[in-house]
Amino acid sequence: MAAPFYPPRQLYYGGKIQPATSGDVFRTIDPSTAQPLADIHTASHADIDSAIASAQEAFRSWSTTPPIIRSRILLKAVQLLRERNDEIAKVETQDTGKPFSETSTVDVVTGADALEYFANLVGGGGLNGETVQLREDAWVYTKKEALGVCAGIGAWNYPIQIALWKSAPCLAAGNTMIYKPSEITPLHGLILAEIYTLAGLPPGVFNVVNGGGPVGAYLTSHPGIAKVSFTGQVSTGQKVASAAAGGMKYITMELGGKSPLLILPDADLDLAVDGAMMANFFSSGQVCTNGTRVFVPSSMLAAFEARLLSKMQHVRAGDPMDPQTNFGPLASEAHYHKVLGYIRHGIDVDKATLLYGGPAKPTNIPPRLAPGYWIAPTIFTRCTDAMLLTRDEIFGPVLCILPYSTLGSAIARANNTPLGLAAGVFTKDINAAHKVVAQLQAGITWVNAWGESPAEMSVGGWKMSGVGVENGRRGIEAWVRGKSTLVDMSGGVGSVFRKWEE
């Protein structure tokens, strides 16, 4: 195996890089080549304790810093992120395998957008409370106060974006954060910490600890943590939520989905196919909101399949740094084998009709990329609701077409899942779109679009897909606690404990 490309990564707390003391090291891998990128040093329990102590010390001053001052510091970080967009995007491409054409236009950009949104929100009075006049001599006022030290546990598919989606509202609200990147894509952690420090964030406000599940478990159950924000798969989220519940911690859980995309009979065929492709092959299908169950009217199935096949030539696998590439490998070897297993199960056990792709790697990738974790974009058609393909979250570039006869049956089938993250509909009839969306059991829905998630839009899952929301005005509420105060200026106390008078 080749020598790592980047210097070893340590921890970050107290405003500077700190050596890990566990003695354990793991490697992050470039999934496009299967070559190592960097050695990552794992935090020990003592390291995590030190990071939390640093965050607790910083919380005392940061939580009382006027929101407008916090806003200015965070907006400086936004400026630095945008100035270094391409540099950070290159690291993200190497760490995740995603094309540079994507990381340079989406990952850093949308993360910076969220930071800018929350900085402006708190700077413009977004944390103001309310005043209620009860009567002439009594009134109530409310305050929104920071929670304390919060834990952010990142996901491997959108590393820098998710780190910012968590840290932006957390820090804007006056909290401090211990952030644990995914052990699969950890390189962004120190980059973001250093940008925050350069922007003027006080030491201890944003801290980074590296490691796998044991580090996350110790962090989420730590008595010094007030809130846990987690993004990842449902089974892990259940464990995190359970550990947090034991300490009555606040939580935000953004978990998985098996989202339905409904094509109505009157839909524009080209737009519907474009939407289905974006809902399944963007980021090589490694998006939690992917619309992997594409419901198509039986009457337009053949036309939909033909148009979809004609456009698959525009999915271009190749060197992730090539500006023409728009399809990369899967993020890790373990995930590659998982997705490959689902594809083989779909062929051998589900007996689904393979329309395109399959278990082979894309044929047009350069030879030097052959060792990487590449899977061809894959389409199964004439799928049924009983197939494993249509029940499990695959989290890869696997599109399942499910024919339907009536819209009512399609909606019922779309909702027949324990998950409820996202859903969408394509139609020319906007009235029908609203009626369908109103019946879909999902926290995020789109009409004639798929995937856009601006900072202004609150997003969160229903059912087993999560708890709480991220982004939008509601997003800041997940990082504060309310305090209500009643003030009585009457000069007396309405007490029942007085001398009895007949």
Question: Which residues does the annotation mark as catalytic?
Answer: 254
CB of 39 closer than 8 Å to CB of 25: yes
Q: Cα(279)–Cα(447) distance, rounded to whole angstroms?
A: 13
Q: Note whether 242 and 165 are within 8 A (CB).
A: no
CB 42 within 8 A of CB 210: yes
Phi, psi of 462, deg, nearest 5:
-100, 170
Q: Which residues contact 303 (CB under 8 A, 6 or more apart)?
A: 269
CA dist 183 and 217 (Å) reads 13
- Token pair 């500006």: residue: 323
Torsion angles phi and psi, residue 6, rounded to 5: -105, 155
* 3-state SS assignment for residue 489: coil
Question: Cβ contacts of residue 401 below 8 Å, gap of 6+?
Answer: 294, 296, 301, 304, 305, 355, 379, 380, 381, 382, 383
Both tokens assigned to 36: 């190592």
Distance CA 419, CA 425 (A): 17
Rounded to whole angstroms, how far apart are CA atoms 233 and 235?
A: 6
Give the start-end residues of each E strand in 58-118.
none
The candidate with the shortest Cα–Cα distance to 293, out of 467, 285, 469, is 285
Supply the DSSP symbol for 232. S
Burial class (CB in 10 A: 0-12, 13-18, 19+), 351: exposed
Pure H helices in 173-268? 188-199, 213-221, 234-246
- The 3-state DSSP class for residue 401 equals strand
Measured N-to-C along each axis, helices 213-221 and 45-62 cross at an angle, to the nearest 10 degrees, of 50
- How far, in Å, are 157, 189, 220 from residue 215 at the CA level? 19, 15, 9
